[in-house]
Amino acid sequence: MSSAAAALAWAMLAIAQAQSFQALGTNTLAYGVSVDGSVVSGTGSGQAFRRTDAGGLVLLGTLAGGSRSAGNGISADGSTVVGNSDAQATRWTAATGMVGLGFLGNGSLSDALGTNGDGSVVVGFSNGDGTTQAFRWTAATGMLGLGFLPGTNSSRSLATNFDGSLVVGDSSLIRGLAFAVKQMKADVRVVGVQAERAPAYYRSWTERRAQSTEFSDTIAEGLATRHAQENNVTEMLDLVDQMQLVSDEEILRAIYRLLIDEHIVAEPAGAASTAALLQSDHLQAGEKVVLIVTGANIEG
C-alpha cells in the first residue's frame, strides 16, 4: 500500500470512528482503553459505553430502575467496564451485564474508578458513617474499606496494578515517610501512634499479622480504623520500629498544648504524635524528635 493510500485509509477510519462517537452527542467522553488499544470505554448520552472495532459502540445500560450510568475505567484485557449507575459503583461484563457493587457501612454513594488486568478487582470510593473511604472489591470479599491517611477522614482508590494486589490511594503516610527517612538515614527510629479506642494497627504490629477490632469510637476520626490491611501491616513490620497508643484525653491535651505553645490548630488525629511525645518518659538527653502534625479539621 502506498503512503497516500495508507493516509487515506487512516483518514476514513478516523471519520468512521468520529461518526460513531458523534452519534452519542457532544458530551461523549472516553475514559479507558484496553492494553492493546482495541477496546475503549467511557460515557455518552448519559450511559456507559464499550466500543470495539468488531462490534462498534454499545451502550451498557443502567442498574435496574436507574436512569444514568458512567464508564470510568476498563480492564487491561477489555472485558470489564467499571463505573457507576445512579450513585452506586458498578461492574459490567458481557456475561453478567451491569452489576451494582454496593456501599460501605450505611453509605448511599459509591463509584468505581479502576480495575485490574482481568476485571476481577475493582477499586473506587464510597461514603458511609460520615466519611468518604477508598475501597477494594472482589467477588470473594465484596467491598472492603481501605481506611484513611492519619489526620483525614477521606480517601479514594483511583487505580490498581495488573494483578490487583496494589492500590493507589491506600493508607500510606507512615509507610511512605518511614521508607523515605530510612533511605536517607537507616538508624532513624520510626514510631507509629494509634488511638486506644481504635487499636487495629497497634494490635496488628504487636501480633505481627493483620487484626480487626469490634470497635472504633475515638475522637480521632482519621485514626478510626477497625480493619488493618494485610499488605499495610507487612510493610509496617519492616519499616516501623515502635507503635504507641494514646487516649482521647491525652489527644485533647496535645491539641491544647499545640494551640497555646506553638499556635498550631490540629485536629485530634493530627495531634496524636504530640500526645505520644508528651506522655513519653524515656527520651534521652539531646535526642532529636520530629513530630508529624497533619490536618486542621476541628471545630470549637
Q: Are 134 and 239 within one domain?
A: no
Assign residue 199 the CATH number of its domain: 3.40.50.1100
Q: Identify the weakest region by mean pLDDT among 41-50, 186-195, 211-220, 268-277.
A: 211-220
Is 217 contained in some domain?
yes
Q: Which residues pair with 29 in a beta bridge?
A: 43
Asked if residue 22 is part of any domain, the answer here is yes
Based on the fold, state whether residues 66 and 88 are members of the same structural domain. yes
**pLDDT range class, residue 147, cuts 50, 70, 90:** confident
Same domain, 19 and 116: yes
Residue 134 maps to a domain: yes
Check residue 297 and give its pLDDT.
57
Q: Are residues 9 and 149 in the same domain?
A: yes
- What mean pLDDT is predicted for residues 19-23? 49
Q: At residue 17, does pLDDT exceed 70?
A: no
Residue 242 lies in a domain: yes
CATH number at residue 109: 2.120.10.30
Banded pLDDT at 234 (limits 50, 70, 90): confident
Residues 158 and 19 in one domain: yes
Structure confidence at residue 203 (pLDDT): 93
Both 116 and 31 in a single domain?
Answer: yes
Looking at the predicted structure, is the pLDDT value of residue 37 above 50?
A: yes
Give the mean pLDDT of 213-231: 76
Mean pLDDT of the 197-209 span:
91
- List the domain range (segments joined by +) for residue 208: 173-279
Co-location of 118 and 212 in the same domain: no
Residues 123, 179 within the same domain:
no
For residue 280, what pLDDT is reported? 80
Which residue is associated with the grid cell 462498534?
56
* Co-location of 192 and 155 in the same domain: no
pLDDT value, residue 296: 61
Judge whether 50 lies within some domain. Answer: yes
Q: Which of 9-18, 86-95, 223-232 has the lowest mean pLDDT?
A: 9-18
Residue 286 lies in a domain: no
Residue 100: band (very low, low, confident or very high) from pLDDT cuts 50, 70, 90: very high
Residues 203 and 121 in one domain: no
- Predicted pLDDT at 129: 73
Stated pTM of the model: 0.52
Whether 289 is in a domain gets the answer no
| pLDDT of residue 127 exceeding 60 | yes
The total of structural domains in the chain comes to 2
Higher pLDDT, 138 or 221: 138
Last residue of a domain, one of 118, 133, 168: 168
Same domain, 222 and 162: no
- Give the end of a domain, one of 138, 168, 198: 168
Q: Are 90 and 23 within one domain?
A: yes
Q: Is residue 288 situated within a structural domain?
A: no
Cα-Cα-Cα-Cα dihedral sign, residues 239, 242, 247, 251: negative
What is the pLDDT confidence band of residue 69, given thresholds at 50, 70 and 90?
A: very high
Final residue of a structural domain among 149, 168, 187: 168
